[in-house]
Amino acid sequence: MTFGYGAITSFTTDTDYRITRVQTGWSGGPGFIIDRVLSWTGDMVDSIADNNNPSTTPPFTYTSQAQLFTYTPTRRLMTAQGYYGTLSWTYDANGNRASETRNGVTSTYAYPAGSNRLSSVTPSGQSGRSFA
């Protein structure tokens, strides 16, 4: 995957299509800025190693508070449940986020016609935020 600012990210997967390595660097640059290796136990990541600086790899543990994520058929995040409560999102026909519900408050996202550029976010019953 190449980004407009020149960064290139590559993903390696195992036979179950789980990501096992993420590498990010600059086009034409030496080495990788990010080089992470993920290890799996069943359906859970059990470690993330930093190949650039192994001594600074943060500890990786799961808490007893499970999280659950659901996705749309087009692989967009639809709901997230965890210690933070339940969050949900809807999307418009262009794939833009149309709304987010958090703690019972639904925020509506607006886009100019023919554009995917976010123009405003308005929480229900509150003043919205506009973006240039």
Q: What CA–CA distance (Å, rounded) separates 63 from 74?
A: 29
Pairwise CA distance, residues 90 & 75, whole Å: 12
- Higher-confidence residue of 43 and 121: namely 121
Q: Are residues 45 and 89 in the same domain?
A: no
Decide if 96 is inside a domain.
yes
Residue 23 located in a structural domain: yes
Q: Name the pLDDT band for 55 (thresholds 50, 70, 90).
A: low
What span, in angstroms and rounded, lies between the C-alpha atoms of 35 and 50? 6
Q: Taking the mean position of all CA atoms in its chain, how far away is CA 70?
A: 13
Which of 33, 56, 79 represents a domain boundary (last residue)?
A: 56
Q: How far apart are CA 118 and CA 129, in angstroms?
A: 10
Q: What is the pLDDT of residues 5-47, one digit of tens each?
A: 778 888 898 888 888 888 888 777 666 777 777 777 666 665 6
Domain assignment of residue 15, given as a range? 7-56
Is residue 1, in this structure, part of any structural domain at all? no
Same domain, 40 and 77: no
The total number of structural domains in the chain stands at 2
Q: Judge whether residue 58 has pLDDT over 90.
A: no
Single-letter code of the amino acid located at 126: Q
In a domain, 2, yes or no: no
Give the model's pLDDT for residue 97: 95
Residue 20 resides in a domain: yes
Q: Determine, yes or no, domain membership for 121.
A: yes
Is 63 within a domain? no
Instruction: Please report where in the chains the tokens 């190949």 appear, as a residue.
Output: 51
**Which residue is listed with tokens 């550029």?**
117
Which secondary-structure segment (H or E) carries 78?
Answer: strand 77-82
Task: Note whether 83 and 120 are same-domain residues.
Answer: yes
Q: Which residues are registered as beta bridge partners of 44?
A: 41
Q: Is residue 22 part of a domain?
A: yes
In a shared domain, residues 52 and 74: no
